[in-house]
Chains A and B, each alone.
Chain A
Amino acid sequence: MKILVCIKQVPDLESRFKIAASGTWYAAEDLAWRLNEYDEYAVEEAVRLREASGEGELVVLSLGPERAGEAIRKALAMGADRGVHLLDPLSHDKDPRQIAGAIAEYARGEKFDVIFTGLQSQDRGSAQVGLLLAGLLALPAVTTIVAFSHEAGLVTVRRELEGGARAVVKVRLPALFTCQLGLNTPRYPTLPNIMKAKKKEVRTIAVTDLPQVAALVRTEKLAFPDKRGAGVVLEGATSEVADRLIAILKEKTTVLK
Chain B
Amino acid sequence: MKVLLVGEYRDGKILPSTYETVAFARKLGAAAALFLVADPSDLPRFAGKLYLAAAQQCGEYNPEGHLALLLQAVQAEEPDFIVFLHSAYGWDLAPRLALALDLPQISEVVALAEGAFVVPACNGKLRRTLRPLGQRAVLTLQSGAFNADGEPAGTPQVAPLTWAGSAVVELVGYEAASRGAVDLSRAEIIVSAGRGIGKPENLALIEGLATVLGGEVGASRPVVDAGWAPHERQVGSTGQTVAPKLYIACGISGAVQHLAGMKKSGFVVAINTDGDAPIGEVADVLVVADLKQFVPLLTGKLGGV
Q: Please give the residue numbers on chain A whose beta carbons come within 8 Å of chain B beta carbons, in ascending order.
A: 11, 13-14, 16-17, 26, 95-97, 119-120, 122-128, 131-132, 135-136, 140-144, 156, 158-172, 181-182, 185, 215-225, 227-228, 230-239, 241-243, 245-246, 248-249, 252-257
Contacts and interface: CB of A to CB of B under 8 A. Distances in A.
B294 interface: yes
Contact of B104 (A97, A120, A182): A97
B238 A163 contact: yes
B293 A131 contact: no
Contacts of B178: 164
Contacts of A241: 287, 289, 294
A97 to B, nearest CB: 7
A113 B253 CA distance: 38
A214 to B, nearest CB: 8
A240 to B, nearest CB: 10
A126 B289 contact: no
Given A120-B91, A135-B99, A160-B88, 4 more contacts: A127-B95, A141-B96, A166-B175, A234-B288
B70 interface: no
Interface in B27-56: none
Interface stretch (B71-79, B146-154, B197-205, B218-226): B218-226
A221 B127 CA distance: 8
Interface stretch (B18-26, B155-163, B297-305): B297-305
Contacts of B7: none
Nearest to B188: A255
Interface of B: 10-11, 15, 17, 61, 63-64, 86-88, 91-92, 94-96, 98-100, 103-108, 113, 116, 119-134, 143, 168-178, 188-189, 213-214, 221-222, 224-225, 227, 231, 234, 237-239, 241, 245-246, 253, 266-267, 269, 274-276, 278, 280-290, 293-294, 297-298, 301-302, 305
B221 A181 contact: yes
A11 B297 contact: no
A217 B132 contact: yes
Contacts of B116: 220
A216 B276 contact: no
Nearest to B103: A216
Contacts of B297: 237-239, 242
A245 B269 contact: yes
Contacts of A256: 213, 246, 302, 305
Contacts of B174: 161, 165-168
Contacts, number: 261
B284 A232 contact: yes
What secondary structure prevails in chain B residues at the interface with A? mixed
B67 to A, nearest CB: 10
Contacts of B298: 242, 245-246
B95 A131 contact: yes
Contact of B134 (A132, A216, A224): A216
Interface centre among A11, A216, A218, A257 (most CB of B within 10 A): A216
The 6 closest A-B pairs by CB, nearest first: A164-B177, A216-B104, A237-B293, A131-B95, A237-B289, A182-B225
Contacts of B245: 253-255
Contacts of B121: 26, 123-125, 222
Given A125-B120, A128-B105, A166-B175, A223 B305 contact: no
B169 A170 contact: yes
Contacts of B98: 97, 128, 132
A126 B17 CA distance: 20
Given A136-B99, A224-B126, A126 B287 contact: no
Nearest to B17: A162
Contacts of B108: 125-127
B88 A225 contact: no
Contact of B105 (A124, A126, A165): A126
A82 B270 CA distance: 44
21 contacts: A97-B104, A119-B91, A128-B98, A131-B99, A132-B99, A136-B99, A159-B92, A161-B88, A161-B174, A164-B234, A168-B175, A169-B171, A181-B221, A222-B121, A223-B126, A228-B282, A231-B280, A233-B280, A237-B294, A245-B298, A248-B285
Contact of B225 (A135, A181, A257): A181
Nearest to B61: A167
A162 B123 contact: no
A141 B105 CA distance: 18
B201 to A, nearest CB: 18
Contact of B124 (A218, A222, A225): A225
Given A170-B169, A222-B126, A162 B238 contact: yes
B230 to A, nearest CB: 11
B19 to A, nearest CB: 15
B37 to A, nearest CB: 14
Interface centre among A16, A123, A167, A239 (most CB of B within 10 A): A167
A13 B171 contact: no
A236 B131 CA distance: 41
Contacts of A162: 15, 17, 87-88, 143, 237-238
Contact of B131 (A132, A218, A223): A218
Contacts of B11: 165
